[in-house]
Amino acid sequence: MSTSMNSDAVVLTDVRKQYGEVRALAGISLVVHRSEFFGLVGPNGAGKTTLIEIMEGLREADAGTVAVLGMAPVPRTVPLLRRIGVQTQSSAFFPRLSAREHLETVAALYGAPPEAVDRTLALVGLTGAADTRVKAISGGQRQRLAIASALTHDPEVLFLDEPTASLDPQARRELWTTLRGLQAAGKTIIYTTHHLDEADALCDRVAIIADGAVVALGSPRDLIGGSALPSKVLLAADRLSVADALLLDGAEDAVVEGDSLVISTTSGGRLLTAVGGAVGLDGVETRTVTLEDIYLELTS
Ligand SMILES: Nc1ncnc2c1ncn2[C@@H]1O[C@H](COP(=O)(O)OP(=O)(O)OP(=O)(O)O)[C@@H](O)[C@H]1O
């Protein structure tokens, strides 16, 4: 057992979990490095929450080994609990208290010093709402308070299960800034999301989970770069017929979607040259492969 500063944040080896007949995790092995922003993505029921709860020590794996900061999360021990932060659900709030009073209570439960409260409010961008009652704060502020509740004891590893679920786009982007700030402060962040654009924007590495197994693992850039999926060239449908598009050098498929002709290719340069030669490039758009395309290919 090691608690050295250099140990990885999380090491999972062949982790399995079964709920009765349901096989939730079919043997997951992965390593999360220190200070890494690590995303778990996958369809509903893929096993993400089960996996994160096993790392948190809330559930026990049936088989395999789990090490968080070099320690086993089960049985739960104070030395490890002091070093990890687990996002609470907003139902765990004290609604009649102000955001600051709520955090003061949480900090006291953790034995964190009083000055941790203002530091944490600032870290998650809640200083301005500190005196607002919990029941009156916005959805975005509520999520930030949930994250703040996991942070008063200044943990090294932070577990967040869908922290941006049910937020509007503006609040979601604001929370991204908060999460980036936490990573800049040196935290290791392990989180789940259904937003692939978000995983792409925030994560150093992403594990795509399907049916309880890791089906892809890497940085968004590497996953996208290593994909053989086609990119797309779009132009107004009245400028070129599907039949003529299919004759272009590099064209692999062509369909009309709405008022656009969408041509698929794995040779974007050749196709663009051919489109330019046929109808000119004015108004032509390109859509490169996204993490969401890869996700859908692997999980559908
Ligand atoms: N306590 C439980 N008892 C029985 N089955 C469970 C339990 N928790 C989860 N499951 C089942 O285990 C599988 C994995 O569920 P889990 O919640 O880990 O997936 P998930 O990827 O987090 O899904 P979602 O994206 O919907 O949150 C599912 O089939 C789910 O129904």
Query: What span, in angstroms and rounded, lies between the C-alpha atoms of 230 and 224?
Result: 11
| Token pair listed for 179 | 């999460």
Cβ 45 under 6 angstroms from ligand 1: yes
List the one residue out of 167, 95, 181, 179 whose CA is nearest residue 137. Answer: 95
Cβ 280 under 6 angstroms from ligand 1: no
CA of 58 to the centre of ligand 1 (A): 14
Cβ 283 under 6 angstroms from ligand 1: no
CA of 22 to the centre of ligand 1 (A): 9
- The packing angle between helices 115-123 and 139-149, to 10°, is 130
| Token pair listed for 69 | 């900061």
CA of 169 to the centre of ligand 1 (A): 27
Cβ 52 under 6 angstroms from ligand 1: no
CA of 24 to the centre of ligand 1 (A): 7
Average pLDDT by stretches of 10, the chain with 300 residues: 64 97 97 97 96 96 97 94 86 84 92 91 90 90 90 95 87 90 94 95 98 97 92 96 97 96 94 96 94 94
CA distances from 36 to 54, 153, 226 (A): 19, 19, 21
Asked if 248 contacts 241 with a C-beta cutoff of 8 angstroms, the reply is no
Model ipTM value:
0.97
Q: Output the pTM of the full model.
A: 0.90
Query: What span, in angstroms and rounded, lies between the C-alpha atoms of 249 and 269?
Result: 10
Asked if 43 contacts 95 with a C-beta cutoff of 8 angstroms, the reply is no
CA of 40 to the centre of ligand 1 (A): 14
Provide the pLDDT for residue 1: 43
Is the four-CA dihedral 247, 252, 255, 257 of positive or negative sign? Answer: negative
